[in-house]
Chain A
Amino acid sequence: QVQLQESGPGLVKPSETLSLTCTVSGGSISSYYWSWIRQPPGKGLEWIGYIYYSGSTNYNPSLKSRVTISVDTSKNQFSLKLSSVTAADTAVYYCAREMQLWGQGTLVTVSS
């Protein structure tokens, strides 16, 4: 069955860029919308943005100026970059297919 796995640094310094990758296994990344969602510790869910396999994107207006999502169909992966991070960006970051199938999530802490 299709599985999603997030990967990337668990610690990022303030003002730097957070970079994460989601690897899709058991199926092709071609077709479907692929999203990033985050959840600060003890808080609710926030949608960050999505990318269609063709490369078109849509971002949360509250994060749009700092977010870039890209796709690499040859590696069956899509990625998230969030720039100028602060402590408020500390969260568990999830990747998801069509908002239906989610990865297990990865905790990213922003701290010096």
Chain B
Amino acid sequence: QSVLTQPPSASGTPGQRVTISCSGSSSNIGSNYVYWYQQLPGTAPKLLIYRNNQRPSGVPDRFSGSKSGTSASLAISGLRSEDEADYYCAAWDDSLSGFWVFGGGTKLTVL
């Protein structure tokens, strides 16, 4: 069972806006930055969002991140077929000596 909680699946039609949630606790999301990754089938995860809402160069502005308290969200606007992938959230957890924790992943289907 993952420390961060994500819905296992999400879906939308082309052009729609979809959001994926990520719920944690005061020791991780509540006190540290949230990162989001996109994993296309058979490939390595790719960083989409870092430090809650920052996009690396090359990531379209259709992708946006937000955080409030112990939860975070990834929003994808203008949904495209190539957005069909698994999405993971991650954050540093201050428990014990500290360690990175992930959500279980959300499979996004573009209908």
Contacts and interface: CB of A to CB of B under 8 A. Distances in A.
B45 A94 contact: yes
Given A61-B99, A94-B44, A94-B45, A100 B90 contact: no
A44 B105 contact: yes
A45 B88 contact: yes
A94 B105 CA distance: 17
Interface residues of A, number: 20
Interface extent on B, as a size class? 20 to 34
A53 interface: no
Interface in A29-87: 35, 37, 44-47, 49-50, 58-61
Nearest to B33: A99
Contacts of B47: 99-102
A104 interface: yes
Interface string A9-40: 00000000000000000000000000101000
Given A44-B2, A44-B102, A44-B103, A99 B44 contact: no
Nearest to A50: B100
Contacts of A47: 90, 99-102
B100 A35 contact: yes
Contact of A99 (B97, B98, B100, B103): B100
Interface in B77-111: 88, 90, 96-105
A44 B101 CA distance: 11
A102 B97 contact: no
Interface of A: 35, 37, 44-47, 49-50, 58-61, 94, 99-105
7 closest A-B pairs by CB? A47-B100, A45-B102, A102-B44, A44-B105, A44-B104, A100-B47, A105-B44
Interface of B: 2, 35, 37, 43-47, 50, 56, 88, 90, 96-105
